Amino acid sequence: MLPADDGVALEYRPQADGRTMLEVRKPDGASVQIFDGPKLVDQQSAPLSIEAQADHWYRVTAHLPSGALRETKVQGQAGQVASLTFIDAGVRGPVTLTHEEFHRLLTAIDIEPGDKAKLSILETAARRAYFSTAQAGALIDHVVYRENKLLAVPLLKDRILDKQNAYLLYQHFTYREDKARVQELLEH
């Protein structure tokens, strides 16, 4: 992949059926227009893919979800997919799981019969996902035994985005000594 100059990354890869293609992969929902000279070839939301002509230059504009506008020129190459990714600088940093993603994670945790397996799934998810304090609390609630609930806190604490609300995790524990341990875990 070529570096993201001016907020646009371009990659060429072979097309299995030999067609010449142009695609805009990201960001989802960007409003994209593709021009061949002055002619508008396509206009739709990303992700999208169109058949292109080899050796033609295409001008691609994208109105990004942040409101930013990006534009680039791309050459169609025979038998290749020109794959564009527009970098939306207005969308920064990590975000919490969507409602659907979080529901899938809870379902995966709930199907497991024991806390060891539940914590294993939680550990795997926490390597890549970020959570709100409310989501972290709900995940803790789906672990059965209190000592295992305490083991979930270190897995989650660095992945909580609204750290100012992390103190709310205390309400997911009944015993005073567990609440004190949660405080210690969150502070270190």
pLDDT at 90: 65
The answer to whether position 3 is within a domain reads no
The answer to whether position 91 is within a domain reads no
Q: What confidence tens digit (pLDDT) does each residue in 99-133 have? A: 889 999 999 999 999 999 999 999 999 998 989 99
Tokens 């791309």 found at: 74
CA distance 23 to 13: 11
Please state the pTM of the whole predicted model: 0.54
Q: Which residue has the higher pLDDT, 152 or 96?
A: 152
Q: What confidence tens digit (pLDDT) does each residue in 64-79 have? A: 877 788 899 999 999 9
The residue count of the chain comes to 188
Total of domains in the chain: 2
**Could you tell me the CATH number of the domain that includes residue 17?**
2.60.40
Same domain? For 132 and 75 the reply is no
Same domain? For 181 and 123 the reply is yes
Same domain? For 103 and 66 the reply is no
Q: What confidence tens digit (pLDDT) does each residue in 16-63 have? A: 899 999 999 888 888 899 999 999 999 998 889 999 999 999 999 998
